[in-house]
Structure 1
Amino acid sequence: MALYSAAAAVLSGLERGEGGLKNLVYGSDFPHARQLYALVAETLRYGPVLEALLDGAALLRVEKKLPLPLAKVLVYDLLFGKGLKCGGRWKALARRHRARLEAELARLKVRRGVSRNEDLLELPSGAAPEAPQVPRYVRVNVLKTCVDDVVEFFKRQGYSFLGRANSVEELKTLSGKKFMLDLHLPELLVFPPQTDFHDSRLYTSGHIILQDKASCLPAFLLSPSAGSHVIDACAAPGNKTSHLAAILKNKGHIFAFDVDTKRLATMNTMLMRAGVTSFKLAQQDFLTVDPHDPKYSKVKYILLDPSCSGSGMVARLPLDEAAPSAERLQALSGFQRRILSHALRFPAVQRLVYSTCSVHQEENEDVVHAVLQEEGSAFSSLAAATEESLQQEERVEPGAAPPKKRRKKRRVKV
């Protein structure tokens, strides 16, 4: 399936409520999931602007057979993206109307009093925001490079490095070509929200990973020591797995599981690009993995990031899944309890981090409390990641042994 047709199909699926963005992208027949995801995400981000341009240029009244989702994708790439580098007949169609669309874009900028395309994304006064603007986080892949070298690279590209942030509020003020080091995670750089590095050679070569801070926290908090055996129970698309490998310094072994063939194939490509060597992928439901299989006898650390409602994604796109019903929350929490209980069956496990992208207590505290009650005194929970606990964690080098606790029970971080 061609890129633009695949992107239009994903947009249509979102509008019909057939699933979330990631699920629809990975379920597409288009072979390059990251390219497809980036195009759809950017088209959604420019959605109101594209609708204004299409309406002003009367494109759909002229091209009556052109579906709206496909029109949005084409106009996005023509005016804001990479300039229609592919597309066949759709490329020819869009280019026929290029002058009209560019003229309408110029008029729209004049009406809104802006000079740059990005400024059109700023909402008029009184308009409700579609999603919070969050910084662009970039994790330095220490398997291939170091923070200092990456900072110097960006400085040569014209960026200004402002040092390490002292507060979250400081990160919110980033603009233009300025960036900082995150105040909690030692290998995480922070850029303004609209920064795009998908075409950067550091990204395409695996020297940097485009990974949100929340996604970096589970591996950071698990902090397995170099040489350890680790399970990533619900691993695809693999950013957390590559982070674990970096913390392990490629020493030890990671067993990574996922049920989706396409996601695992994409994950394998990403891990190879990132220089990860100490891993084994398995297309298998983690619930069917035998905890007493001898190959897992040395597993002391487990990262468990199971399927969830996704309700806590701060950059959630406007057409993503609707708020979950009570029935769906009940079904999800039931699955989450089963998979957490199963993870605690591995005989050598000493530390487990359970994480979700959900704001619902049913998927978080209630799951952990229920499982710990079932386990009795075998495990205990540690405090959830807070500003204070992160400040304490950051004093420990990733991969080093954490400070000793008084209790000798096996622990579950939540």
Structure 2
Amino acid sequence: MPSRAPAAQEPSPPGVQLLVRIRAPDSSSGLSADLLRGRGERERTGRDGGLSSFGPRKDIGPEPIGSGVDEKRSVAKKPVTRIEKHGYPDSIYINAAKIFQGIRPEKSNDRNPVQYGDNSESPMMAFKDEHSRRLSYELAFNTLKYQGLLEEILLDSKTYPSHSIPDELTSLLVVMLYDLQDRKFRKRKIFAEEELVEEVQEIGRYLYSYRTKLAAALARCRIKYDALSIEYFLPKTIWKQEQRASALPICFWINTLKISLEDVIRDLEMKGFTKVESVSDFDHYTYAVDQHCHDVLVFPSSLREELLNLDLFADCKLLLQDKSRSLAVHSAQALLSEGGDILVAHVGSHLTIAHLSALTNHSTSTIFVCGVKSSAKEEELRNRFSPMGCENIQLLHDDFTELEPKDSRLEKAKVILLIPQCSGLGAGNPMELILSEDRDAGLLRDLLQGFVSEDKLSILAERQLNELIHALKFKKVQAIVYCTCSIYPEENELVVKKALESGVEGEKVQRYRLIPSVFSTCSNSESSTEMFFKMEPSEISSGCFLAVLEREKDTSKTAKDILASAVAKRLLDGIVEEKPKEEVKKQKVKQRRRKVTASEDSRVELKKSVNPDSHTAPSKVLKPKSHLSPLGKAYERQTPAQKACAEQNRTGLY
């Protein structure tokens, strides 16, 4: 999510004005202005109702983990690339500007005096590491949220337009302006190890030369809109989403490849955590076991940073991931038959695949993952899976829709897990969704608007339908799990129903039907609307849609039974040769004779042994004939010690 805003002063009581003196960063300029910072608290209105105020959140952290407990087990905080309020390396600004250029809303030239370059082509970006990628996206999204305010500051301060800055660099100008005001118009630090970019250096010097005018323009905007801080300029949709995301409990799944649930609980208790029944019972250092997934632990959102610094997280024993993905993984694992494999249609998050690997570790199952296009991506994934202990994963270069349903590698695949690209507006943390699953950054623009355009929704739904229909073509697959974090029926129920109605399975195999998921309490198979598992976005959970498709059970007779029935009814006269009745009768008589002879032999021999007229009855006939199999005879020849050992091993199999 976007970087946390600095805490602001408490708003004054209603009707009381607060006088604040704002100085320019450079005291030599002598510029100062007395500003009225708002008139108490007002009710926030929507985007059409003007920019109204709400107080920035105050994040009060709990006591540090480890106080009063075993501090040796704590892990030191990880170093952060960015030095607070001193800016970023040049490469971060370049990548953030490219992202912003691609996701900013298009406006007509007559309505927007600030002109941007052409963004028809997808930008090429190279990130130094995952942390740099995250910083670039966060900076781009923060710029997008305040685009209107930043453009007004540029125009009011006469910083824009400038003949020295072409339209192609306007995005970079706006991105760097956001960062300049975020660090209170202080000079940016040059990082010793960074590679300097000429355009970034030039625009940085240009903005800094206008810093006093820019600060004054920002102050005038705040007076104009009666805003205590720039957070007051957030669109209502973004404000609501960020409020919800900040309160959303965080979920960690336990990597049972490296640790057991009992050991995790013991470790947490040593660090002062207390287990409670549900999220409604949360109070400081508490946690709960998720009601749907037995290996998922839920914590208060306020503990996020401290939990990420625990040794449990550093050692890949606890892994942070949205609950919706854990629901999909557990649904797929529950459908897996003994010895069957799972086909994952999209790479998505490596955490989803790792979780599936952990759940299937005690079986012979292999997890096939589609869409690993390059050797670099394959190496990256293997480097991620290795410290987690995952070994039953096989990466495929093919896209899912390019795979042949009869592919010999998928001979034992019984379950398909399909988590397609979707609009994602139900996600609790859209930024995390984009970063962890390489999703379209356009989700940030949709989030800003509060909706997805009809054209985009139609394209997504068509792609999802094609993928689900392709999944239905794998004749040996017995079940499909379809999961999205969309709030639109067009991507959820309608896609599933259209796929089932397509009839692509053919007539020679059993058709698919909807069944309740393992989390559903629905038992009425006639009610298809209740067969889907859904969670609406709320303060305690992300949005999630889950559908489980399973092949109908084959209750028909076998081919041999059908053929015999047809012959008996003389439906296949001339097609199947029928044996003569006398031959059939002779075979039956022979079978009966063999049975009778076997039983009579035993009786005759027994009678001979007890006949008083017989003086030479052999002793061997006193023993009944043995009907033991070869294995049974071998068992009879075993010593008592060998028999005892065999019985012990046999008992261990159950």
Please indicate, yes or no, whether the TM-score normalized by the shorter chain is above 0.5: yes
- Deviation per CA, 1:87-127: give whole Å up to 9, x if none: 57799x89x9xxx9xxxxxxxxxxx99xxxxxx99x9x9x9
Task: Tell me the residue number matched to 1:6.
Answer: 95
Q: Does 1:129 align with 2:206?
A: no
Using the alignment, how far apart are the partners of 2:358 and 2:123 within structure 1? 26
Q: Does 1:232 align with 2:344?
A: yes
Task: Tell me the residue number matched to 1:353.
Answer: 481
Q: Does 1:371 align with 2:499?
A: yes
Q: Does 1:253 align with 2:394?
A: no
Using the alignment, how far apart are the partners of 1:243 and 1:84 within structure 2? 41
Matched-pair contact (CA < 8 Å) for 2:361–2:392: no
Please give the residue correspondences for 1:197-346 in structure 2 after superposition, counting only pairs within 5 Å: 197-223=307-333, 224=336, 227-249=339-361, 251=363, 252-258=365-371, 261=374, 264-316=378-430, 319-321=444-446, 323-346=451-474
What secondary structure, in the 3-state scheme, does the structure 1 residue paired with 2:396 have? Answer: strand
C-alpha change, 1:338 and 1:305, in structure 2 (3 Å) is same
Using the alignment, how far apart are the partners of 1:359 and 1:349 within structure 2? 28
Structure 1 stretches lacking a partner, 5+ long: 18-24, 101-111, 114-119, 391-404
Task: Tell me the residue number matched to 1:116.
Answer: none
C-alpha change, 1:31 and 1:152, in structure 2 (3 Å) is farther
Please give the residue correspondences for 1:44-193 in structure 2 after superposition, counting only pairs within 5 Å: 44=141, 67-70=173-176, 72=178, 128-131=239-242, 132-133=244-245, 134-157=248-271, 160-166=272-278, 170=280, 174=282, 176-193=284-301
Answer with 1 or 2: which has the greater Rg: 2
C-alpha change, 1:48 and 1:351, in structure 2 (3 Å) is closer
What secondary structure, in the 3-state scheme, does the structure 2 residue paired with 1:190 have? Answer: strand
Task: Tell me the residue number matched to 2:553.
Answer: 408
Q: Does 1:380 align with 2:513?
A: yes
Using the alignment, how far apart are the partners of 1:174 and 1:255 within structure 2? 39
Structure 2 stretches lacking a partner, 5+ long: 1-89, 107-121, 166-171, 213-226, 432-442, 524-549, 556-654
Matched-pair contact (CA < 8 Å) for 1:4–1:73: no
Matching residue's letter, 1:354? Y
What secondary structure, in the 3-state scheme, does the structure 2 residue paired with 1:388 have? Answer: coil
C-alpha change, 1:406 and 1:315, in structure 2 (3 Å) is closer
Q: Please state how far the C-alpha of 1:205 moved relative to its aligned partner.
A: 3.3
Matching residue's letter, 1:352? I
Matched-pair contact (CA < 8 Å) for 1:3–1:87: no
Using the alignment, how far apart are the partners of 1:264 and 1:139 within structure 2? 24
Matched-pair contact (CA < 8 Å) for 1:141–1:207: yes
Matched-pair contact (CA < 8 Å) for 1:164–1:183: no
Using the alignment, how far apart are the partners of 1:239 and 1:76 within structure 2? 33
Q: Does 1:28 align with 2:28?
A: no
Matching residue's letter, 2:175? P
More relative contact order in 1 or in 2 (CA 8 Å, sep 6+)? 1
Q: What is the root-mean-square deviation in Å for CA atoms of aligned residues?
A: 5.1
- Deviation per CA, 1:129-170: give whole Å up to 9, x if none: 23322222111111112233333444445xx4332534x6x2
Using the alignment, how far apart are the partners of 2:190 and 2:320 within structure 1? 24
TM-score of the aligned structures, taking structure 2 as reference length: 0.46
Using the alignment, how far apart are the partners of 2:123 and 2:427 within structure 1? 18
Percent of pairs identical after alignment? 23
